[in-house]
Amino acid sequence: MKSFIKKIWVITLNTFKEAVRDRILYSIVFFAFLILILSTIMDVVTIGQRAKIIQDMGLASISIFGALIAIFVGIGLVYKEIDKRTIFTIVSKPVTRYQFLLGKYFGLVLTILVEVLAMGTIFLALVYYTSGYINPRLFAAIGLTFLELMVICSVAVFFSSFSTPILSGMFTLGIYLIGHMTRDLYEFSAKLEGTFLAVILKILYYVFPNLDNFNIRAQVVHELPIDPKYFFYSVLYGLLYITLLLFVSSIIFTKRDFK
């Protein structure tokens, strides 16, 4: 078991090293600039609500920025290994294909974690600077945003395991967008009850990840109550979704030929 995890960790570290040396983490600097510019603009256009708006926009920026990085790094993650044939030497080593895939996934997650930690720190520093204190619930919001990004990473790795980067990018971006509208899909299907379209919409609701489950921005910013159960079920849902998707990805990846 120790050796099994160790091999995944070796691939995880290598994937992270690739992201670092490809200067992916430079995007943090861009985020810092973006959030500083936003706060400056907010300072001018808002009256009294500045702190709340900065919190809301900051959390949204971490989510969108993290998602973009997860998608654009994730979609090429496995494809690049096949295209550049580096996978040939990996497969010839005592590593199973699912160990490789898990290693790549966790490497991407580690990259995103570093991004979120850096962006989170910049964001919290700005919050402290503008309002003089940090709402502890902001940590929970950032934590759930990270879980959302983990789900997006698993979607990107899933498509990357059998598709080209362009198609994977389109599919993952599509799922990211639909993932924030799944409640609408459900409500719409309820209105069309009894029709074929309603069945389709219901299937889509259950198949696509409900990314709004990880969004507690409004509750945190406006200091509304959050049921601890909600937090628990969101984490459970996220972890289950990731596990299922990685399991399916592993099956596909194990069965395919690398030409």
Partner 1 sequence: MTEKAVELKGVYKAFKTGFTMKKVEALNGVDLVINKGEVFGYLGPNGSGKTTTLKLIMGIIHLDKGEIKIMSKSPNDISIKEIIGFLPESPYFYDYLNAVEFLDFYARLFSIPKAIRRDKIRRLLKMVGLEKRAGESLRHFSRGMLQRIGIAQALINDPEIVFLDEPMSGLDPLGRAEVKEIIQGLKRDGKTVVFSSHILPDVEAIADRVGIIVNGKIRDVGDLDKLLSKRVSFVEVTVFGLDRDMLDPLKGKAKVKRILGDRIVLLVEGVENVDAVIDYIRFCEIGIESVEPIRMTLEELFLSETKGKSK
* Residues of the shown chain interacting with partner 1 in the complex, contacts defined by CB under 8 A: 3, 6-7, 10, 14, 17-18, 21-22, 84-96, 255, 257-259
Instruction: Record the tokens describing residue 150, joined without a space.
Output: 């983990």
Residues near 202 by Cβ (< 8 Å), separated by ≥ 6?
Answer: 185, 186, 189
Please report how close the Cβ of residue 250 comes to partner 1 at its closest, in angstroms.
14
- Residue 96 or 131: the one with the smaller Cβ distance to partner 1 is 96
- Residue 93 or 229: the one with the smaller Cβ distance to partner 1 is 93
Please report how close the Cβ of residue 27 comes to partner 1 at its closest, in angstroms.
17
- Residue 163 or 215: the one with the smaller Cβ distance to partner 1 is 163
Instruction: Record the tokens describing residue 23, joined without a space.
Output: 């200067």
Please report how close the Cβ of residue 240 comes to partner 1 at its closest, in angstroms.
28
- Residue 103 or 209: the one with the smaller Cβ distance to partner 1 is 103
- Residue 41 or 166: the one with the smaller Cβ distance to partner 1 is 166
Please report how close the Cβ of residue 254 comes to partner 1 at its closest, in angstroms.
9
Please report how close the Cβ of residue 244 comes to partner 1 at its closest, in angstroms.
24
